[in-house]
Each structure stands twice: as C-alpha cells, then as structure tokens.
Structure 1
Amino acid sequence: MKYKKILPIIASSLLIFASCDDNLMDWEKDPDHGEVTGAELPLALVEKISRYEPLKNYTNFVLGNGIGVDLYMSDDAYRNIVNANFDEVTPGYEMKHGPMVNAKGEINFATMDAFVAKTKEAGLSVFGHTLVWHSNQNASYLNGIIAPTVIPGSSGSNSLDLTGLTNGTFTNWARNNPGKGITIVANSGLTSTSQAIQLAASATSSAAYNLQLTSPDVAIVTGHNYELSFYIKSDVAGKGRISFNASLTNQYPWKDWYNTGGSFTEAFVTSSQWQQVKIKLSASDFKVGSTSFKFNLDLGYLPNVTYLIDVNTLSVVDLDAASSIVNMISNGKFNTDISGWSKYNGATNALSLADASNAYEGNGAMKVINATSDASNQWKTQIHSDFTAKLTAAKEYTVSYMIRSEAAGSVRCSTTGGSAHYQGDQATSATWKLVEWKITASGDETGLNFDLGAAAGTYYIDNVVVTTGAASGGGSSTVIIDKTDAEKKLIIGNAMTDWISKMVTHYKTGVFAWDVVNEPMKEDGTLRNGTESTTATDYFSWIKYLGKDYAVTAFKLARQYGNSTDKLFINDYNLESRLDKCDGLIEYVKYIESQGATVDGIGTQMHISLTTDKAKIAQMFQKLAASGKLIKISELDVRLGTNSPTVVQQASQAEMYQYVIDMYKKYIPAAQQYGVTIWGVSDRVKEHVYWLPDESPNLWDANFVRKHAYKGTADGLAGKDVSLDFSGELVKKP
C-alpha cells in the first residue's frame, strides 16, 4: 500500500477540532441524530484509522454487510460506505417471507428487484436471507390457509323439508335412478357427527340423470328470489348438475358455478374436498302461476364415483322473506361500508372497511387495528355504534357477532348510556368465532362498543346483531371444520414449495448464495419442534406441520430451482456460547444430508459482547471446521451495552472484532472460509430502531466516522497491525 507523506483526516465534516490539543478531538451534536454516540479517541489513533483502505482490500474471502434495503436505496452516505467496503450484502429484513408475501400468498418482487439491480451496479453480490425461518413470516396468511373451514349458516329459514333425509326414510324424496345406491350415512358429513346423503354411480353411469335424487315440493312466494345450496365431495373426481321440474322456464340451467367471470357450464365438478354448490333462482325464473318447485341432484355423468352431500347444509332459502330479527344496530353486515360506526378511541388508522376476502360472509367486514396491549384498559381502542332505538327496560337482549384476528387477540363488548354493561374478555384467533353476549336492559343504553385495546393486532368483525331472544333468525347454524394433520401438512408443504421455488427461480441470475434454513435449533442443541410459545404476530413454525424433514425439503427445493453452483447455508445463533447447540446443528446437517439433500455451508451469527467467552469462540470454530462444510460468520456485531462508549470500551470492542476474525482464520481451513458478514453499518439511531436500540455495536459511529473497531476488523482481516506500515508524520490541527 502506498501513502502520501501527509494525509487529511477523512470521515465527516461533523468532526470539529476546538483547540490545538493534538491528543483529543471534540464531538459536535448532530441535530439529525441526537447526541453523538462515539467517545473521545486519541487524535493519533483517529488519523491512523483514517489512513486505512476500505475493509474489503484486506481479505481474499467474501466480506459482507447486513444492511437495511430502504437505507441503502435512499441514503447516499450509507450506500457509499457499503459499496466501498464490502463484496456482498445481506438484506436484514426485506427478503423474508413476511415482507414479500401478501395476504393472498402472492410474492411482491418489486422492492428486492430494485435493490438487486442497484447492488449489481455497484459490483456487489446479494446473499439471500432467508428462505425458511419461524420469525418474519406472513403468519396471518400461513395460519389462514390451514385454519378451520368456517361455513356460514343459511341467511334465513330453510324452506326445504329434510325430514325424509334426517330419519333415513326418504319420505317425499324420490330416488329415481339410484345407481349403486342412494342412502343416508351417519357421521360422514362436514362434521364428525353430521349425516350425509351417499350417492354411488354405477359402473355404466354415463348421463347426468343416471344417478338422480329428486326433492319434495318447495313452496314459493310470487315475486320472491330463492337460493339453493349444499356442500358436496366425492371419493374421486366427479361431476354433477342441478335440474328442475316444469315450474321453471329453464329446467337445465347453465351456471357460472365458480364465479369465473361469465364462463357458464352445465355441470360443476367435485373432488375429495368439501365444496359448496350454490344457485340463485330469480323470481323471473319461475313460470307464471307457479306455487312450488322441485329440483334434481343429477350425479350420473361418470361411472364408479361415490358422492357425499351434507344433509345439514342442503337448503332452499327465501331471500326476500321478512326477517324475524329486529336488529338494534343499523349496519351489522358491512357489505358496502361501515356507516353507523365510529372510532371513540384508538389510532388514526384504527377503523376501516375490509373487503370480501376478509369478510365472514358477504362483501365486507369491519377492520380494526389496535396498536396497544393493555389488558386493564380495553377501551383504548374502542369502536362504537348507536342503537337504532332505546332498549326496553327489563328485557333480555342478545348481542352476537363474528370475529377473528390475524394473531391471538382479545375482544370485549360494552354499552354506552346511563347503565353500562361489560362483557367478559373473549379470546380471538385466526379462525372466525361466533360470540354471543346476553344483557338485561335498564332502558337507558344508547349504543354498543367493541373494546379491543387488550391485545395489539388486526381484527375483523362481521354480522353484528343486537336483538331480543335468539340472534340466528331461524337459519342453519355455522359449521366449523378442522383440517386434519395430513391436510395441514399437504397445504403447508405446498406453500413452502410455492415460496422457495418462486424466490429461487426469480433470483436465479442475481442471487447465488442463500440462507435456506434459519435458526432451527433450541439452545440445548435439540431441534425446535413448533411447540415453543410465542406472542409474535409474524411467528410461524414450519416444522410443526412438516416435521423434522422440513429442512430436507427446503434444501432440495432450493437446489432444484436454483443454480447447481449456488451455495446453500443453514444458519443459527449462540453457537459460540452454547457448544451443545453447535453440536446439535452439525448433527442436524448430517441428518439432512442423510435424507438426500446437500448443505454447502453453516452460518454462525455471532451477535456477541465483550463478555463472550473467547475460549468457547475458538472451540466453536474448531467444531465447525470439523464438519467439512463452508463456514460463514453470518451476522457479526459486538455490543457494548451503551450508546456512549468510553475509549476503553471502544478499544475492547476493536480487540474482540479482531479476535473473532483471527480465530476464524486460524481454525477454519482456507478452503472452508466462505467469509465474514458484519451486521449493520453505523451506530445511528435509525439503524437500530428494531435491532440493538441504544447500543453502539458497529464499525462506524453515528456520524459515519470510522471507530476503533474498524481498525480491529481491518487488522484481523489483514492478519497484522496495518498501521505499522504507515509512514509520514501525523497531522496536527493548529
């Protein structure tokens, strides 16, 4: 390295020397960052550090930096430091499942595409972080796809007489073409205790009417519209239709069965999964003078198919029948808006309208975002609606509503007016839940509140009813169907395949190394099993549903859809403080490979402090070296326990950075040295909002001035005290 005789002190214009003292420099307050976090350093040391070259010039292995994508894209000074000093960058958050996957499971690549393009321009490579982890997941989406199926009850009373089905006699029902048989079977419907109609097609069945069950007469009211619906499944792929008697002008209607946007077909298809078939009959569909109609379940298209129809869900509802419920809330359906509801307490964005995808039924729901977690003050997020009239004194009312939350939550209702009523706290989850609360009115109640301040999170509320007596209105009840463990495993396995295949394929020409599996181990060296409790809204345990081989699958997928030369890593923390955890991770790698997958490398995060046991650091590297895998220090930082470190603390921090790199180079053979990634750039507050707040763990201080730790890191990479090679006199500021 060549140096000029005298070099100016670089770093920041915010460094101002207030006197002729050549040993100390004073720090000035930066209004953008608050108090400067660095301590006073000897001026001679500051000049030495300023003469060092960029860090990446001191090593032949990959030198990486864990960064914030937003900061890199928007902050020139931050980006310039990263570009000048590092070979590779690891996005700290933005490349994970949580920020990239939306509520529908779709991946938004826009942010990361722009980032990858920007880093390519600077000659940097991107390390993919991370494909499968339990944190920073879109847990709401993942939990949602395995949540129990909630089937709303019918919107009104059933006009169809089911007696002949429920008692098994088929009275008033006609088995016109029974195929192999049309029977009633117990415990085979949507729930384990519900009945089903079993219809079995014969080996020669080839026309719809070859397997046919005809309903009793269904009375109709002139001018009214009706809805026929039921849930059906089949043992193998099947096909069916609904046809009608002569009461309808079109006895064999073609229908847009699955709302595909105008693609009308004669028949619907069935599978081994329960699905709803629904058809609406307009008043104009009936012939003039008709007072009743019959329908046929025609399932004879295909041979040797056995169908099940849940008896409880087979219904015909008069959509125009007068409601038996007088709702004291003017808008409880939220199909078009949230009129009538207002925010009494809570954040600005607390109340909004959710679309149909987040509704229990219909076209919308009320969405409430609660930013607090105060179990004793539920009112801190409070949504209110006035009653349409005063409640009658001494009369009992039932308040009912459907609710779910994106994570575990809590809700309480209360009333306003002279005599307030308070419901007990109700637990909520990602599954829709029917909540009913009975109150005896005093007569001076004026409105209803939803009090959601107990547990932070996002809530969806639908079908709010306040009425005397029962709130169901005579329709069929809600049915909740839990998915089996096998179904959950299949669904989550497909979600993992979709996520990894799309990510690795999309970045096949821009990302060539990945953290495939992150933090799989417990502290004692055993494998996480998904039973660990957590209150985090972004927590999702893949292993809970996929078992021990979840990592096997992840590595196979990353290899299948990526490049054959991609470097695929497994990564964990505290390996230097818990050697049993290090041993357990190495054993798990052996297991993964015994199942046919290949793991290229092991990452050790090394978020350490000055008190971390140095002997254990050395032992960890020896153990990792013995694995034969590429070894990467993946997230190195050294915290000091303060954001205003002393000179001594900064010197100790520099020594610890150097020690870690020295031990890495000493014990990890050169062929196994993937490289070192420093986690974070500077001690600025904005870089530590979520990670190590009020700390000073990095190589640059809050003003982007190189710290003593910069020298320690550079000396470790170079394998010597680089400054001993400097020539020329130190500059003194007059």
Structure 2
Amino acid sequence: MKYKYIIPIIASSLMILSSCDDNLMEWEKDPEHGVVTGAELPLELVEKISRYEPLKTYTNFVLGNGIGADLYMSDPAYRKLVNENFDEVTPGYAMKHGAMVNAKGEINFKTIDDFIAATKAAGLKVFGHTLVWHSNQNASYLNSIIAPTVIPGSSGTNILDVAGLKAGTFANWARNNPGKGISIVANAGLTSTSQAIQLASSATSAQPYSLQLTAPNTTIVAGHNYEISFYIKSDVAGKGRLSFGSTLTNQYPYKDWYNTGGSWVEAFATSSQWQQVKIKLAPGDFKAGSTNFQFNLDLGYLPNVTYLIDVNTIAVVDLDAAPTVVNMLANGKFDGNITGWSKYNGATDALSLAAAANAYEGSGAMKVVNAVTDTGNQWKTQIHSDFTAPLTAGTQYTVSYMIRSEAPGSVRCSTTGGTAQYQGDTATSTTWKLVEWKITASGTEAGLNFDLGGVAGTYYIDNVVVTTGAATGGPTAPITIDKTAAEKTTIIGNAMQDWISKMMTHYKTSVFAWDVVNEPMKEDGTLRNGTEGETATDHFSWAKYLGKDYAVTAFKLARQYGNTTDKLFINDYNLESRLDKCDGLIEYVKYIESKGGTVDGIGTQMHISLTTDRDKMVQMFQKLAATGKLIKISELDIRLGTNAPTVAQQASQAEMYQYVIDMYKKHIPAAQQYGITIWGVSDSVKEHEFWLPDESPNLWDANYVRKHAYKGTADGLAGKDVSKDFSGELVKK
C-alpha cells in the first residue's frame, strides 16, 4: 500500500510538532522508553534515508572510516557497512606501537597483516595510523631500554683480599708488568663514587703479560667450585685474559670466554661499555692437594689501551660455601617456579611466574598484576608465603627484595599471624630497586605478604630474603648505573629508526599514506617537550629524548624506508577551537621542512560537538588551505552529550556533519582535498567502551541503522539534498 507524506500514529505524549519540516520536528523521549533509535525517526525521513546510496557514491575524494580492526574482522554486519560505504580505513589502535611492539621491542605484524588482507579483498585501502605519538606506545619497553642498568652483586661472599685496592696501596697485589701504569682512580668505577683500577698498556705492548696485575693467594676448600668476576671497560677496543699460578693443572684455561666456531677462545674483548667478565673453576681444575690459587689480570695484548676495572666488583666466591644468610622463606629466587607463594587477594590471573627475561637474575621472577588502583586498600592484591619457622621474639629481621614495575607503581609488605606489621608504601619504577624493611619480631609472625593493590600495574619481584641482621649476608650489593642524556638520545633514536624502518618496509606494498607524527602540539600552539604528565602506562614522549627534531627524524625515516610517492601526514586535534594551536602546527611543519623533512599533508581530527564555533572552523580551514599542503579531516565525529538523543538533536547533528563537509569543500581547494575520515561506524557500546562512552557521535545507531547524520553526511558529500532527486511516492515498507 502506498502513502504520501505519512506521519506515524504515535501517542501524543511522545511527540511535539514544532515545524512543518518533518526533518526538524522534536521528539521527546519517554523516560521508560530508552534510547531513540534511527528506526523511530518520522517515517518520511526514515524512508528518505533508506533510499540513499552508500556514502562513497557521493564524492570523488577519499572517504575514510576509523575502525576497530578486531570488530572489522569479527562482526560481519559491521564489516558490511564499512565495505559498502568507504574507500579507506584507518585502524584506530591495532597499528600503533603499543599494540604491535612486545617487551623485547619485537614487532608482531600478524594482526595488521590479516586486517590488510581482508580489507584489500573488499577493495579498501588502509591508512597507516600512527608511527610516532606520545600515547599508545609500549612505554614499558621504551623506558626499559633507557632505564638505569642494575648490576647484580657477586654470587656469594667475596673471599678475595681487596683491602689493598680500596686503600690504594696494592698491598698483597703485585704490579708485575705495569705498562704505562697501574693505579687506583677515585670516582671512575661503575658509579660516580666508586674506585677503579686503571691499567694502561704501553705503545709497544704486544703480549698479554706485558700489562699484568697479580691478585693475592685465595685459600680454597677441596671439592668446591669457585667463581671469579669483575666489571671492566676500555677507552678503545681492548683485549684481556686471566692466567693462573702453578696450583692449576692448566695455567691458561681458555674457558668461559666467547665461543667462536665451536671452541673456546683465549681472550675476552673490551669496549667503552662496562661488561662483566666471569670465570668458574671446578675441582678438577686444581692440582691434587692444592690449598690456594692465584690469578693474573693480563691486559697487554694491544698497545695504547687504558682499562678500568671497578674495585667493588672484583670478587672470588666459593660457590659451595655454607650460606651466610638463613632465609626464612623457602623460595625467594623463583628460578623456574613460584612454589610456596599464593594469591590471598586479587584477580584470578594476578600471580604467575615471569621468565628469565623479566627476572632480576636467574631463570625466573614472581609476576604480579594488579588491575585496579585502590590507594587505601593495598591488600586487595596480596601475595603470600609462609615462613619456614616462626620468627624469634625480640629479634630484628631484615626483609629484602628486588622489585620493578612496568609503570610507576607502589609496594607494601606486611606480615601475617598475631599483630600484623606493615611496611610503608614504597614507590616502584621500571628500574629494578633493592628494598629493605627491618622489623622486630613479636614471635607470632607466620608469613610475609606483598600488598600491591595501591597502584594498578604489572610488578616483578625477585631475590626475596627474610633473615636476621643484614639481608645481603656477604655478597656485594647490586649497583645501579644511570645512562647519560646522550646515551638515552642515542638509544631512543635507534628505537625510532627500528620501529619506523620496519613498519615502512613491511607495508611498502600495501600502505601508501601514513600519520607519521600524531598530536605534537600543546593547546597554546607550542611543541610538546616531554614535561607533560606521563602517568598513563602507555605514555612515552619521544620529544623528551630527541628534542624538537624528533618529527624531522620521523619524516625522514618514513620517506627513506617507504615509497617516494607515499603521502605522509602530521595530525592533531582541537585545531578548530584553538587557532593558536593550528598556527603552531603550521609553523612546526615549516620547521620540519626547513630541516630536510617532507610533509605532504596536515590532518585535523575534528572531534567536535554541536556547540563548536563555526567561525573558528572556517578560519582553521582557511589557514590550512594557505599551507598548500594536502588537507585531511582525519577523525571526524560529532558528540551530542548523550546516548539517548532526541530527534531534534539528531537533526542538528546531521546539519553539523553537512556543515563541516560543506566548509571543507568550500575552503580547501580541490587539489588539496585528500579526503575525510569519519571516526567510528556506529553508536554501539562495543565501539565506545573507551572512546566517548555514553555518547552517540556516529552515522549509524547502536543497531547499525542509518541515522539522520547519514543523510547530512551524504548531502554534504554530494553538495546538495540528494533526496530531492528521488522520484515517485515514498513507499511504506
């Protein structure tokens, strides 16, 4: 049955007609009715919208859509809308550093490879989003590579006589062949306050023994294994070995150095970076009846090399000596298991074993994940272990552990049994930290807890000791070495090159347009410099370490490793509301190009609302057009402040979508119009869990029904009211 100018019959309490134009009438929402959907718009408007062609039909420039790669791959209805209506897709998260880079800096391409294959089969292009940003980074990895180096102490109590070294007298040490000189230098060791042995080879040095320092005799126990270790570096590439006295069966045991071609080599190499040298002597290495041994540091292979050996790290350890520390916990090393530890409180997956890569030392660590920040209830994520025996009343114990977290965090220890004792909250970071807590036992303590509920995050714990007196018990304490600003710049620069080069190379034949730099500006139009808040776990400021030229480097790398014809964009938000920010971005583009980078286009995101200043919007387009660059509306959506908009709000949203597109086409010359990307598909909660929750900013409603905004967008793209060309009567379906 055909009808003309149909108005649906609806209870009068739900509808107030304020205009003869059915597109502008207001529809009040019954409090018990819920969200107004596209299906409930006036019938004539619904009929009109249903007869529109797919959006991409109405424009010649690129019409894009910012989408969730997972939704596209898993939701057929969602995928169908994207395929039918758009030319290009931008994966909203899955192509970013945080999504693709793991804790080792390795890139997992599979998700995006599968996504590109699926979109390509549907005839869609993919826009690369985004190479360099301060958010959505694997900040844990990036911070870890510039974190201070924490060097574990020796494996046990040092039995080597180093008193003469620390005194600077070399008492009991022999400088047999001093070369240019062997001396003790203050503040030259691993830390700024530690001593170092300085050994300089002569201009004619050629034999290992041409520069030789001999250690004192060390008493040994028959049948025991021993370890010699120290940290060494040199001003230029160097070479050294250890040789031994007559109590060893082989005075030159080529063992424990680098294995080249399947055989042990004689010497270790040195460089300008501190490195550990370690050699183990087994009982079979000693002659029968030996009661001591002596070793030589032989560094005379090469001429004109100056070596430094940190005095605090040169040690000989009896690996089979009785422990000097009695740990009241059965398992504090976590080498391959977390036996003895259990989750008292927290999520199901709160406690697990971390592999060696995330251990302080050894083959494992305890990993604890706390999902929710609750500063007043640290116990809500709580990991426990029983003591091997009750603590002795009146005795002081030291609780000692190493801890780090993937982002700034907080830890507190507590005891169980009797009256609990509580450690003060202790800050954690991405760097391993030695924490000690001293308690005087009441005799009722039954176990130890790690309370990690204060700050959400992932924590790694290793080397947990509860003992009387000093927890270290003889082994040398760990040493922390900060990297210099120059070292951090080099490391982060290399990380950027690794990331961009691999992304551009891998997608060279499938992605031809990229957001190279995202959101570089502060609201006042100045450049972000890394001093902004970094509380988010995925926040990392490239500019903090690489300076103003970080974007110059990024654009040069993208061009170097991509195609010469790739379109490379810089992208930012609020340019329509902060014209000073727009001006700042334009000036930064000029700066990038003055330094040799090439920026093809500028993206303006335009996450706007109905109240966004239209005059400023026009001025933004005019300013961007004046750059001569390609201009892209990169992330357009229009929020309404509710997930239950009235019909009038939907009509206003449609009009605003049309206005934005009209102004883009009016003020951006056709040759500079890269295109428009609509950010998101629908108002479904699946799309708005993190972005604009409880909102309705998109062109389809929560049920994938076209909204009034669909018509406004299509009319804007077409440059006219498309529905006026419809012929015949509207048909009720």
Amino acid at match of 2:400: S
1:563 corresponds to 2:563: yes
Post-superposition CA distance 1:540-568 (Å, at most 9, x none): 01000111100010000001101001111
Secondary structure of the equivalent of 1:252?
A: coil
Partner of 1:70: 70
Deviation of the 1:185 alpha carbon: 1.1
Secondary structure of the equivalent of 2:548?
A: coil
Amino acid at match of 1:381: T
Give the distance between the partners of 1:213 and 1:6, measured in 2 at CA.
105
Give the distance between the partners of 1:180 and 1:152, measured in 2 at CA.
32
Give the distance between the partners of 1:702 and 1:583, measured in 2 at CA.
37
1:154 corresponds to 2:173: no
Partner of 1:302: 302
Partner of 2:527: 527
Post-superposition CA distance 1:29-65 (Å, at most 9, x none): xxxxx96755721111111111111111111111110
Secondary structure of the equivalent of 1:467?
A: strand
Partner of 1:614: 614
Instruction: Give the conservation status (yes or no) of the 8 Å contact 2:258–2:265.
Output: no
Secondary structure of the equivalent of 1:116?
A: helix
Name whichever of 277-286 and 502-511 sits farther off.
277-286
Give the distance between the partners of 1:6 and 1:275, measured in 2 at CA.
86
Give the distance between the partners of 1:578 and 1:253, measured in 2 at CA.
71
Change (3 A) 1:677 1:260: farther
Partner of 1:515: 515
Secondary structure of the equivalent of 2:711?
A: helix
Give the distance between the partners of 2:287 and 2:210, measured in 1 at CA.
27
Deviation of the 1:157 alpha carbon: 1.2
Instruction: Give the conservation status (yes or no) of the 8 Å contact 1:72–1:78.
Output: yes
Give the distance between the partners of 2:290 and 2:97, measured in 1 at CA.
57
Consecutive unaligned residues in structure 2, runs of 5 or more: 16-21, 28-33
1:493 corresponds to 2:493: yes
Deviation of the 1:597 alpha carbon: 0.7
Deviation of the 1:269 alpha carbon: 1.3
Secondary structure of the equivalent of 2:446?
A: strand
Partner of 1:404: 404
Post-superposition CA distance 1:141-197 (Å, at most 9, x none): 000000001111113211111122122222222222222222211111001111111
Give the distance between the partners of 1:36 and 1:369, measured in 2 at CA.
41
Instruction: Give the conservation status (yes or no) of the 8 Å contact 1:6–1:728.
Output: no
Secondary structure of the equivalent of 2:98?
A: helix
Change (3 A) 1:6 1:78: farther
Instruction: Give the conservation status (yes or no) of the 8 Å contact 2:68–2:92.
Output: yes
1:451 corresponds to 2:451: yes
1:91 corresponds to 2:91: yes
* Mapping 1:337-416, distance limit 5 Å: 337-416=337-416
* Mapping 1:134-149, distance limit 5 Å: 134-149=134-149
Partner of 2:623: 623
Post-superposition CA distance 1:45-86 (Å, at most 9, x none): 111111111111111111110011111111111111111111
Amino acid at match of 2:211: L
Deviation of the 1:535 alpha carbon: 1.6
Secondary structure of the equivalent of 1:552?
A: helix
Deviation of the 1:302 alpha carbon: 1.9
Amino acid at match of 1:171: A
Give the distance between the partners of 2:2 and 2:297, measured in 1 at CA.
94
Partner of 1:12: none
Secondary structure of the equivalent of 1:108?
A: coil
Give the distance between the partners of 2:387 and 2:39, measured in 1 at CA.
63
Post-superposition CA distance 1:485-520 (Å, at most 9, x none): 001001001100100011101100011111111000
Give the distance between the partners of 1:661 and 1:256, measured in 2 at CA.
69
Amino acid at match of 2:365: A
Change (3 A) 1:39 1:57: closer
Instruction: Give the conservation status (yes or no) of the 8 Å contact 2:64–2:675.
Output: yes
Deviation of the 1:628 alpha carbon: 1.2
Partner of 1:589: 589
Give the distance between the partners of 2:386 and 2:260, measured in 1 at CA.
39
Give the distance between the partners of 1:659 and 1:392, measured in 2 at CA.
78
Change (3 A) 1:258 1:620: farther
Give the distance between the partners of 2:380 and 2:76, measured in 1 at CA.
41
Partner of 1:200: 200
Instruction: Give the conservation status (yes or no) of the 8 Å contact 1:66–1:91.
Output: yes
Give the distance between the partners of 1:235 and 1:166, measured in 2 at CA.
22
Partner of 1:697: 697
1:249 corresponds to 2:249: yes
Secondary structure of the equivalent of 2:127?
A: strand
Deviation of the 1:262 alpha carbon: 5.9
Deviation of the 1:447 alpha carbon: 0.7
Change (3 A) 1:355 1:263: farther
Give the distance between the partners of 2:332 and 2:351, measured in 1 at CA.
15
Instruction: Give the conservation status (yes or no) of the 8 Å contact 1:38–1:643.
Output: no
Secondary structure of the equivalent of 2:657?
A: helix
Change (3 A) 1:262 1:450: farther
Change (3 A) 1:231 1:723: same
Partner of 1:287: 287
Secondary structure of the equivalent of 1:445?
A: coil
Give the distance between the partners of 2:263 and 2:534, measured in 1 at CA.
46
Instruction: Give the conservation status (yes or no) of the 8 Å contact 1:236–1:305.
Output: yes
Give the distance between the partners of 2:712 and 2:248, measured in 1 at CA.
87
Amino acid at match of 1:406: E
Instruction: Give the conservation status (yes or no) of the 8 Å contact 1:187–1:196.
Output: yes
Deviation of the 1:205 alpha carbon: 2.1
Deviation of the 1:263 alpha carbon: 5.7
* Mapping 1:579-728, distance limit 5 Å: 579-728=579-728
Post-superposition CA distance 1:618-640 (Å, at most 9, x none): 11001111111111000000011
Partner of 2:18: none
Deviation of the 1:88 alpha carbon: 0.7
Name whichever of 628-637 and 260-269 sits farther off.
260-269
Partner of 2:439: 439
* Mapping 1:100-119, distance limit 5 Å: 100-119=100-119
Post-superposition CA distance 1:667-688 (Å, at most 9, x none): 1111111110000111111111
Deviation of the 1:732 alpha carbon: 2.1
Amino acid at match of 1:584: G
Give the distance between the partners of 2:377 and 2:37, measured in 1 at CA.
37
Partner of 1:178: 178
Instruction: Give the conservation status (yes or no) of the 8 Å contact 1:571–1:604.
Output: yes
Give the distance between the partners of 1:258 and 1:367, measured in 2 at CA.
32
Partner of 1:235: 235
Partner of 1:31: none
Instruction: Give the conservation status (yes or no) of the 8 Å contact 1:515–1:569.
Output: yes
Amino acid at match of 1:543: A
Give the distance between the partners of 1:580 and 1:420, measured in 2 at CA.
57
Give the distance between the partners of 2:251 and 2:675, measured in 1 at CA.
73
Give the distance between the partners of 2:582 and 2:172, measured in 1 at CA.
71
Structure 2-normalised TM-score?
A: 0.95
Amino acid at match of 1:493: G
1:40 corresponds to 2:59: no
Deviation of the 1:704 alpha carbon: 1.0
Post-superposition CA distance 1:265-313 (Å, at most 9, x none): 2222111111111112122222211111111212222222111111110
Instruction: Give the conservation status (yes or no) of the 8 Å contact 1:518–1:570.
Output: yes
Partner of 1:424: 424
Give the distance between the partners of 1:732 and 1:125, measured in 2 at CA.
37
Give the distance between the partners of 1:693 and 1:353, measured in 2 at CA.
35
Partner of 1:120: 120
Amino acid at match of 1:235: D
Partner of 1:472: 472
Deviation of the 1:259 alpha carbon: 8.0
Partner of 2:30: none
Amino acid at match of 2:290: S
Give the distance between the partners of 1:507 and 1:6, measured in 2 at CA.
53
Give the distance between the partners of 1:179 and 1:263, measured in 2 at CA.
31
Deviation of the 1:253 alpha carbon: 2.5
Give the distance between the partners of 1:266 and 1:700, measured in 2 at CA.
72
Aligned length: 714
Give the distance between the partners of 1:553 and 1:509, measured in 2 at CA.
22
